[in-house]
Amino acid sequence: MNKAQKRNALLSGPYIFWIVLFIIIPLLFVFYYGFTDGNGHFTMDNILSIAKPEYYKALVLSLVLAVISTLICLLIAYPLALILRNTKISKKNFIIFVFILPMWMNFLLRTYAWQAILDINGVLDSFLAMFGLPSANIINTPAAIVLGMVYDFLPFMVLPIHNVLVKIDDNTINAARDLGANYFQTLRKVIIPLSYAGISSGIIMVFVPSLTTFVISDILGGGKLLLIGNIVENKVKADNLNLGAGLSLILMIFIVINMVVSMKMDSGIEEDAMLPTDKSSKVGGK
Amino acid sequence: MIKHLKRIYMGLVILFLYLPIIVLVVSSFNNSKILGKWDGFTLDWYKELFNNASIMNALKTTLILALMASVIATALGTLASLTINKMKRSTRSVVMSITNIPMLNAEIVTALAFMLLFVGLGISLNFATVLIAHVTFCIPYALLNIYPKVRQMDNNMYEAALDLGASSAQAFFKVTLPEIMPGIMSGFLMSFTMSLDDFIITHFTRGSGIDTLSTKIYTEVRKGIKPEMYALSTLLFVTVFVLLLLINRTPNEEKRRKKLAKGKKSHATLAMGMCIVLIISAVGYISFRDDSNYIGDVYVYNWGEYIDPEVIALFEEETGYKVHYEEFETNEEMYTIIANGARNYDVICPSDYMIEKMIDTDLLAPLDYNAIPNIKNIGSEYMESATGFDPGNRYSVPYCWGTVGICYNTTMIDEEVNSWSILFDEKYSGSILMQASVRDAYCVALSYLGYSINTLDEMQLKEATNLLISQKPLVQAYVIDQVRDKMIKNTAALSVIYSGEAIYMQEENPDLEYVVPDEGSNVWIDGWVIPKNSENKEAALAWINFMCDPNIALMNFNEITYSTPNIAARDLIEDEYIRNSQIAFPGESVLSRCEVYNYLGKDGDALYDGYWTKVGTAASE
């Protein structure tokens, strides 16, 4: 090891220390609690309890709703990102402006506002009644939870897709058109394959929080629909940390599967897929 | 044509994103406390916001936390980006994957992992623990913005600076840092935003006395969020909006790009500077208000909206203790926090069966009655019934009591309500609100079936569980304190509720009526207790004594309308109708058919919890 390498190792020390202490070790604690009972004896019961119908059903419901909301997010976000790519206002700041700004209004409040909108005799119902339409009646249903998920996580789908789309060279697209491809062929054969990295990070960023939320189902589901996140939260609240940890481990399996699948889709997520492209600094830099 | 379609599409998405924000902004000017019920324009909430100490403190904590977490995360992220770049490829990919874990893992798992780490190591949660958690989940976002800038950077520039005689520190500050500054800036902003908006991780790792806006809102969601919160959010939102406008106010022309790049940086720096100045002055303003006759702290843990806020201020004024007041939603949730030593409080207000459990698990300290002379105001019959869960009244002083019953809307129900059976009537499908807490839900089913609400008989519990499952399709929602607003807004026709809420609800909506069903129900007492690990028992005793003062108890009764066991206070109630109300002070005929909850033991709790989860995940259609 030469001097520069040594210095680098020394400088990276604090960071390595931090991530080991606060990322690796806490996860080891989850494993420890997940595989032990209240008295610290080894057990598989916590993990195997997922086979009980009540937990199994919650997991299936969570998976179904998470897949649906991820797909809806993708269907809304992709055309939007395409439109933004071709408009003059697709400056990075505008995008950040529109999609990051809502985050400054607390997300609990925003979700709660949806409750007020969708509630029986709520804002939406009054609006519909003005046109003589019947009530929407979607509060406390899976549809309301999906709406909440799409609402909360849509920006996490739009931003990564937008970031890869603006990086695609116009010449590549023009070349495809020149060679006789129509718009949809270009889209299918050129643009979409080139944006896999953005799509896959978007899918991860939406699927994971949708699968594991307990707040959205709490506020918009009326406590009638328990997701796996609610079960984990309830177990922790009911002082059953071991079962909570065991179910968390099950959740981690699904998250890892999702990540592997998404990465297969694009061999390796681009590290800066979430990053807003900054053309101006490139102009100055090189 | 297509252009218009595109515009419309974008407009719709943006409307979707901003619709709830519009609702919140409008609500901040709404006279009514209830979200979604317009009752005229007012600016009162903005005025009251600045007098609301608890919201101001939460704002202060949120801002300090976000600022510290994002500064540390950005510093660590910068250091990491610079060193990771020089690592071997294999090492680098390992470090990067570990870094990204908190971003890719479920938030609830990350949160639980932190909680287990701290609880497992016997560290009680405090500001440092929540800060560590925030820094850790902010780091990936910081790195995401900084690392690509480091990779883009031409290393020859740094080398050239060294060759020209700069020291490595000079080369770093003069060459490297300015080059990666935009990345650092956006990393900082992103971290700040994530920290500010986080709820789940804060919820699991915060210490006592540390409320952020998120955790405060979450506890308030139950009883209806205070409109001051909408006012604050609107102010925050507008501030950020203006700051971002400043940053983004850039000319369009391509040829002015270069100038723009430079101008933008100064805009960004200006905005960042303003941001920090704003935060510091906000924090300073809030801290400045802290009063001077301070002699110590007292950490209070109570049910949501279970006190007149004025009382807290009076207590602080009179005794000089600074009150850190926090709320819980269910007994079970509170117990987990205390039993695991996650947070320490000085005085708590659990219900009867939970007090019994806490005595049983040796969590409480006996009370010194010499320090509670006001105990004389508490009616002897209440002290007597409290011995059912606290033999000899050694550990608890009654605070409020009441029954569980049915609240119904007389305009929607035209039959006489006197039985739990109406909650299982298909006629009212979709108009029934059930309680979301285990014991109260089973109280309904077990009482209806004619069993004891403390039964441990598996057959009886199974029967009750099946009954609750069959009821599920009829239920509009399982809620706790939200019953109140929903009934007032005519959202539902029938609900299970505590007697204390009924009086308030009748005042707001005269169509509502409350009844304790003939089959019997639960009568409960909530009492003040002092946990064994309280660090300021003297202050806790002073608090309990203060709560037993007749005038204070009266203030609380007028505010929260839960029945007071304070005889002296009851005599002071001016409104004769309320003083003799059968809802607030039911007679012997009602009480004789009501039963008190007992602690069921660890196995009993697990049994109920297991069955309740079955109800929770049963089909609702």
The arithmetic mean of pLDDT across residues A191-200, rounded, is 87
Q: Rounded to a whole number, what is the distance in Å from the CA of B501 to chain A's nearest CA? A: 20
* Domain count of the fold of chain B: 3
Same domain, B280 and B300: no
Same domain, B391 and B407: no
Q: Residue B224 region, left (φ>0) first, then alpha (ψ -120 to 50), else beta?
A: left
Same domain, B277 and B146: yes
Decide if B170 is inside a domain. Answer: yes
Decide if B585 is inside a domain. Answer: no
Contact B213 A106 (CB under 8 A): yes
Which residue shows structure tokens 């204390």? B500
Same domain, B387 and B498: no
Assigned token pair, B272: 């960042």
DSSP character for A44? S
Instruction: Tell which B residues from 415 to 454 touch A, by Cβ distance under 8 Å.
Output: 436
Q: What is the pLDDT of residue A285?
A: 29
Decide if B185 is inside a domain. Answer: yes
**Does pLDDT of B396 surpass 90?**
yes
Same domain, B316 and B272: no
Contact A19 B213 (CB under 8 A): no
CATH number at residue B124: 1.10.3720.10
Contact A224 B477 (CB under 8 A): yes
Q: What is the pLDDT of residue B53?
A: 79
Q: What is the pLDDT of residue B321?
A: 93
Q: Rounded to a whole number, what is the distance in Å from the CA of B314 to chain A's nearest CA? A: 30
Q: What is the pLDDT of residue B107?
A: 87
Q: What is the pLDDT of residues B94-141, one digit of tens each?
A: 888 888 888 888 888 899 999 999 988 888 888 999 999 999 999 998
Instruction: Tell which B residues from 71 to 100 touch A, by Cβ distance under 8 Å.
Output: 76, 79-80, 82-84, 86-87, 95-96, 98-99
Contact A222 B148 (CB under 8 A): no
**Whole-angstrom distance, CA of residue B437 vs CA of residue B608:** 11
Q: Which residues contact B392 (CB under 8 A, 6 or more apart)?
A: none
Assigned token pair, B350: 């659990």
Q: Which residues contact B589 (CB under 8 A, 6 or more apart)?
A: none
**Does pLDDT of A282 surpass 50?**
no
Same domain, B277 and B418: no
Please spell the DSSP secondary structure of B24-77, one letter per residue. HHHHTTBSSSSTT----B--HHHHHHTT-HHHHHHHHHHHHHHHHHHHHHHHHH
What phi and psi, each to the nearest 5 degrees, are found at residue B506? -65, -35
Decide if B354 is inside a domain. Answer: yes
Same domain, B564 and B479: no
Q: What is the pLDDT of residues B178-195, one digit of tens each?
A: 888 888 988 898 899 889
**Which residue type does B371 have?**
A
Same domain, B369 and B482: no
Angle at CA B264, nearest 5°, toward B262 and B267?
A: 120
Please spell the DSSP secondary structure of B147-193, one letter per residue. HHHHHHS-HHHHHHHHHTT--HHHHIIIIIHHHHHHHHHHHHHHHHH
**Does pLDDT of A278 surpass 50?**
no
Q: What is the pLDDT of residues B573-615, one digit of tens each?
A: 988 888 888 888 998 889 899 999 999 998 898 899 899 999 9
Alpha helices in chain A (DSSP H): 3-19, 25-34, 45-48, 53-86, 92-100, 107-118, 123-130, 142-165, 170-178, 183-186, 192-194, 196-212, 215-220, 228-237, 241-265, 279-285
Same domain, B241 and B149: yes
Q: What is the pLDDT of residues A256-270, one digit of tens each?
A: 887 777 767 655 444
Q: What is the pLDDT of residue B539?
A: 95
**Does pLDDT of A284 surpass 80?**
no
DSSP character for A23? I
Instruction: Determine which of A23, A35, A145 to mutate to test the interface with B (most B C-beta atoms within 10 Å).
Output: A23
The arithmetic mean of pLDDT across residues B239-245, rounded, is 80
Looking at A87-91, A158-162, B559-563, which range is the least confident one? A87-91
Count the neighbouring beta carbons within 10 Å of the beta carbon of residue A82. 18
The pLDDT-based confidence of A279 (bands split at 50, 70, 90) is very low
A230 touches chain B (CB under 8 A): yes
Q: Rounded to a whole number, what is the distance in Å from the CA of B175 to chain A's nearest CA? A: 12
Instruction: Tell which B residues from 483 to 522 touch A, by Cβ distance under 8 Å.
Output: 486, 489-492
For residues A215 and B200, the answer to whether their CB atoms sit within 8 Å is yes
Contacts of B260 in chain A (CB under 8 A): 280
- The CATH number of A47-276 is which of 1.10.3720.10, 3.90.1330.10, 1.20.1510.10, 3.40.50.1820? 1.10.3720.10
Decide if B468 is inside a domain. Answer: yes
Q: What is the pLDDT of residue A283?
A: 29
Q: What is the pLDDT of residues B516-551, one digit of tens each?
A: 999 999 999 999 999 999 999 999 999 999 999 999
Count of residues making up chain A: 286
Interface A–B counts its CB contacts (< 8 A) at 310
- Chain centre to alpha carbon of residue B616: 22
The arithmetic mean of pLDDT across residues B324-336, rounded, is 87
**Does pLDDT of A200 surpass 80?**
yes
**Does pLDDT of B21 surpass 80?**
yes
Decide if B43 is inside a domain. Answer: no
**Does pLDDT of A217 surpass 90?**
yes
A281 touches chain B (CB under 8 A): yes
Closest CA to B335 of B612, B521, B560, B602: B602
The arithmetic mean of pLDDT across residues B390-411, rounded, is 95
Burial B302-317 (b: 16+ CB within 10 A, else e): bbbbbbbeebbebbbe
Contacts of A122 in chain B (CB under 8 A): 36
The pLDDT-based confidence of A273 (bands split at 50, 70, 90) is very low
Decide if B27 is inside a domain. Answer: no
Q: Residue A283: which of B179, B250, B261 has the nearest Cβ?
A: B261
Q: What is the pLDDT of residue B472?
A: 94
For residues B366 and B394, the answer to whether their CB atoms sit within 8 Å is yes
Mean pLDDT of chain B, nearest integer: 88
Q: What is the pLDDT of residue A102?
A: 86
Burial A18-48 (b: 16+ CB within 10 A, else e): bbeebbeebbebbbebbbbeeeeeebeebbe
Contact B83 A12 (CB under 8 A): yes
CATH number at residue B432: 3.40.190.10
Same domain, B431 and B456: yes
**Whole-angstrom distance, CA of residue B229 vs CA of residue B226:** 6
Domain hosting B474: range is 401-522+599-617
**Which residue type does A41 have?**
H
Q: What is the pLDDT of residue B267?
A: 57
Mean pLDDT of chain A, nearest integer: 83
- Chain centre to alpha carbon of residue A130: 36
Q: Residue A255: which of B106, B186, B609 has the nearest Cβ?
A: B106
Same domain, B160 and B194: yes
Looking at B69-83, B168-182, B315-329, which range is the least confident one? B168-182
Same domain, B494 and B545: no
β-partners of residue B297 are B322
Q: Which residues contact B466 (CB under 8 A, 6 or more apart)?
A: none
Cα A49 to Cα A53, A56, A66, A247, A248: the distances in Å are 9, 8, 22, 8, 12
Contact B24 A255 (CB under 8 A): no
User: What's the complex ipTM?
Assistant: 0.85
Domain ranges of chain A: 1-34, 47-276
Contacts of B86 in chain A (CB under 8 A): 4-5, 8
Q: What is the pLDDT of residue B251?
A: 46
Instruction: Tell which A residues from 165 to 194 touch B, by Cβ distance under 8 Å.
Output: none
Contact A30 B109 (CB under 8 A): yes
**Whole-angstrom distance, CA of residue B204 vs CA of residue B81:** 29
Contacts of A123 in chain B (CB under 8 A): 23, 36
Instruction: Determine which of B108, B159, B248 to mutate to test the interface with A (most A C-beta atoms within 10 Å).
Output: B108
Between the CA atoms of A164, A166, A171 and A172, what dihedral angle is there, to the nearest 10 degrees? 20
The arithmetic mean of pLDDT across residues B325-348, rounded, is 88
Give first-to-last CA distance, chain A, whole Å: 32
The arithmetic mean of pLDDT across residues B31-42, rounded, is 80
Q: What is the pLDDT of residue B405?
A: 95
Q: What is the pLDDT of residue A48?
A: 92
Q: What is the pLDDT of residue B101?
A: 85
Closest CA to A63 of A279, A270, A275, A250: A250
For residues A238 and A250, the answer to whether their CB atoms sit within 8 Å is no
**Whole-angstrom distance, CA of residue A270 vs CA of residue B170:** 33
Contact B109 A212 (CB under 8 A): yes
Q: What is the pLDDT of residue B286?
A: 63
Contact A76 B13 (CB under 8 A): yes
Better-scored residue on pLDDT, B257 or B25: B25
Count the neighbouring beta carbons within 10 Å of the beta carbon of residue B132. 19
**Whole-angstrom distance, CA of residue A277 vs CA of residue A254:** 31
**Whole-angstrom distance, CA of residue B260 vs CA of residue A279:** 12
**Which residue type does B475 have?**
V
Return the residue of A nearest to B81 by Cα.
A12
Decide if B589 is inside a domain. Answer: no
A262 touches chain B (CB under 8 A): no
Q: Rounded to a whole number, what is the distance in Å from the CA of B418 to chain A's nearest CA? A: 26
